[in-house]
Chains A and B, each alone.
Chain A
Amino acid sequence: MTSQEKTIFVDYVTRVEGESLIDVKVENGEIKELKLNVWEPPRFFEGFLVGCKYSDVAEIVSKICGICPVAHMLTAQRAVENAMNFTPSQQARRLRDLLAWSQNLSSHVLHVYFLAAPDFLGYDSAITMLPKYGDAVKRALKMKTVANGLTTIVGGRAIAPPAAVLGGFSKLPSEEALKRSKEELKGIRQDAIETVKLVAQLKIPDFERETEYVAIRGEKEYAINEGYLYSSKGIKAPEREYRKYISEVQAPHSNAKWSKVIGRDSYQVGALARVNLNQDQLSEDSKTAIEENGFKFPTDNPFAINVAQAVEIIQSIDACINIIDEILPLKDETPNVTVAPGEGHALTEAPRGLLYHSYRINRRGQVERAEIVTPTAQNTLNMENDLKALITQNIDLPTDKLTFLCEQLIRAYDPCFSCSVHSLKLRITKLWPR
């Protein structure tokens, strides 16, 4: 290494769920090498799911990720049900939507306030933010309490809820508790609006890169747990055809897999993709918040992911209130699924984006093949492409600032690398011309 070069090394991107490493080598103002390296130990879920019983699948996959266990659970349940040609009742489907929204709310609050906001405000963590931003942190905790409370009411526990089972719910939530939760949700609506205002005050780095956005879209409403595959460059297809449009290869330098739209390039999934694609279906409050704070969607700035999350905090609250109104009073019903062999696929929106599960079940009810494609796995290649563009555009920044910007970009994506079934760690090595 000559004196013309410099090395940056971030060996661990903190405040992301899981472990990742970025390796960037820049020489004479040009990127020589860029690797987003997932090194968190692979856990091989798709491997050991083979042979498991159909009814155990959802519970096992809920242990893929501690932040979005609900998303994995619900997606697996729908995929297995699709394999067995079973359609759950409308009430069960709406309760699942409610679970998914409550988790989306909780996850976004956590990410916006605890994982991303410290970056924008220049803090090491939400803990050190407490003295000056005490009110904001308290607001976040209040919203999180309501969100986790609702997950617990519907599912029995905030992490890996036991009530959601194949076919529906093993125990229905108490109507009283749901009504109470609805009042609490109304109580935090203003906090959600304040959140969007807070995000509007943060300085969002000026950066854009054109990419394809992929999400599910509902016929009637902003989709979370059911919908069809939809993209900004023209994909519109039923969920079972996911593999016709998206291909996956193992990345040469990491434990994650790379996803690409077949015949095109990398793509983005997540809150920004959803808002970009489905903003016409957002609730009135969410639309107003976007307008009043001067945001514009669609946008190609990946740092706006945090804005989209803040908007979805309002959307989640409104969706939960609507669903509670719609499903009360609850009808007594017991889930009952008959084992049938077959192959099933399901697409849902986890807080971090599109989630795909696919299973083949044999006549004895055992899993023969399992496939799980997580949001972070789908975003990895797009993150790399964004990093390349970001570094090229900001090549004159001092080393530490650029390193921080790269880390900030990765965190904006809200990556969840345990979840990549395969998980992640980040390190930036840079040979830097002065």
Chain B
Amino acid sequence: MSSKVEKPKVGVFKLSSCAGCQMVMIYHHDYLPEVLNATDIKYFKMARRDNVPEGKFDVVFIEGAVTEPEHIKLLKEVRPRTKLLVAMGACACDGGVVSLKNTVPEHQVESTVYSDTSKFTSIKTQPVDEVVKVDAYVRGCPVDGGELIELIKSALMGRKPNLTNYSVCIECKLNENPCRFINNKEACMGTITRGGCGALCPTYNRPCRGCRGPTTDANIISYARSALDREIPGREDLLKRREFAEFAPPNVYPQGRNVIKATEVAIISTPISSKKGGSSQ
């Protein structure tokens, strides 16, 4: 079954990650025949033996965060050879769970795990767009299969993908969940986090962890103040968490990425028991 139109060439590359997002790709096998028909998968190490890393790509998916100099090299090699580069999942978009190690000096983290750290070349965890330009983000930990399909479809059709930019709160209300922030006094991040997950965690009686990153108009400071006013315990745990680096204080990304500014970090990271609205760093 050969069509006249040349099929777009697709590559899936993995940096530091758990491969969960690639698994979501494989789990969405209902679409497998269609996707296979419409695309030419050139590079997907988890799925096939013979991979072609050379040549041009139309779409490249990057899973995982940058934690090695080798990753930077790979990204710089791949970027000029692809039309579209997609960051797939929380690690690629924001640093993800591996960026928790950024809170501790690198050597300390390494020597906790290994006695001999001399061969390691690990660097601070960074999201993909700190290294190369990213054309599209598919968010979540792991990504939502439906959004992934939407992205692939729109890439095939050459249109802008219709991805969510309203907050998790909207979806949570649609599910008629009681508010965990107000009722349960939990540091639920739903108000400032991009939806698209169907408010999964709050629907399962757990606070949103913000794995999808902030909405473009998120008022993070107002959220932090509001949590402070309500004396919600644990909110500083969540906001200080570097896991989803878009929420993270700028010391992780000195050059910017400053959704939260230095002065604002102080407000966020003030322990509840101490003075309100503290100003020290």
Contact = CB atoms under 8 A, between A and B. Distances in A.
A53 interface: yes
B110 interface: yes
A60 B103 CA distance: 15
Contacts of A48: 100-101, 103-104, 109
Contacts of A65: 18-20
A118 interface: yes
Nearest to A155: B204
Contacts of B174: none
Contact of B21 (A16, A66, A250): A66
B2 to A, nearest CB: 14
Given A63-B18, A124-B48, A158 B27 contact: yes
Nearest to B47: A125
A303 B269 CA distance: 54
A6 interface: no
A17 B46 contact: yes
A160 B211 CA distance: 12
B100 A60 contact: yes
A370 to B, nearest CB: 8
Interface stretch (B54-62, B115-123, B223-231, B259-267): B115-123
B185 interface: no
Given A47-B108, A48-B104, A65-B19, A15 B49 contact: yes
Interface in A1-57: 12, 14-19, 41-48, 50-53, 56
Interface stretch (A89-97, A163-171, A228-236, A355-363): A163-171
A15 B14 CA distance: 13
A125 B48 contact: yes
Most buried by B among A17, A69, A255, A421: A17
Nearest to B90: A63
Contact of B46 (A15, A59, A64): A15
A43 B19 contact: no
Given A17-B19, A65-B19, A159-B142, A126 B97 contact: no
Contacts of A52: 100
A230 B92 CA distance: 41
A418 B206 CA distance: 27
Contacts of B204: 156, 162-163, 170-171
Contacts, number: 150
A160 B46 CA distance: 19
A139 to B, nearest CB: 12
Interface string A129-164: 010000000000100110010000000111110110
A220 B242 CA distance: 44
A336 to B, nearest CB: 13
Interface string B131-155: 0000000000110000000000000
A66 B96 CA distance: 13
Contacts of B104: 47-48, 50-51
Contact of B22 (A66, A118, A158, A421): A66
A63 B103 contact: no
A412 interface: no
A89 B27 CA distance: 32
A286 B119 CA distance: 46
B125 to A, nearest CB: 9
B47 A114 contact: yes
B36 A127 contact: yes
A389 interface: no
B101 A44 contact: yes
A132 B21 CA distance: 29
Given A41-B68, A48-B103, A18 B141 contact: no
A67 interface: yes
Contact of A41 (B45, B67, B112, B115): B67
Given A125-B49, A418-B18, A421-B113, A170 B205 contact: yes
Q: Identify the interface centre among B16, B20, B33, B51: most chain A CB within 10 Å of its CB.
A: B20
Contacts of A419: 18
A86 to B, nearest CB: 19
Contacts of B16: 41, 43
A110 B26 contact: yes
Interface string B1-29: 00000000000001111111111101101
Interface in A254-302: 255
B116 A162 contact: no
Contact of B49 (A124, A141, A145, A156): A124
B48 A14 contact: yes
Interface in B83-109: 96-98, 100-101, 103-104, 108-109
B18 A124 contact: no
A422 B51 CA distance: 24
B218 interface: no
A401 to B, nearest CB: 15
A254 to B, nearest CB: 9
Contacts of B71: 41
Nearest to A411: B49
A160 B45 contact: no
Contacts of A56: 237
Contacts of A18: 19
B201 interface: yes
A136 to B, nearest CB: 14
B206 A44 contact: no
A118 B49 contact: yes
Given A69-B20, A125-B49, A250 B114 contact: yes
Nearest to A18: B19
A351 B117 CA distance: 30
Central interface residue in A43, A60, A148, by most chain B CB within 10 Å: A43
A52 B241 CA distance: 10
A83 to B, nearest CB: 18
B200 interface: yes
A103 to B, nearest CB: 11
Given A14-B51, A47-B112, A156-B200, A144 B19 contact: no
Contacts of B189: none
Closest 7 CB pairs of A and B: A66-B20, A125-B48, A47-B109, A47-B112, A66-B19, A170-B205, A48-B100
Given A17-B19, A48-B103, A148-B27, 12 more contacts: A14-B48, A42-B120, A43-B98, A46-B112, A46-B113, A48-B100, A51-B104, A66-B18, A66-B23, A126-B47, A159-B20, A171-B203
5 contacts: A42-B110, A45-B113, A67-B19, A110-B26, A422-B113
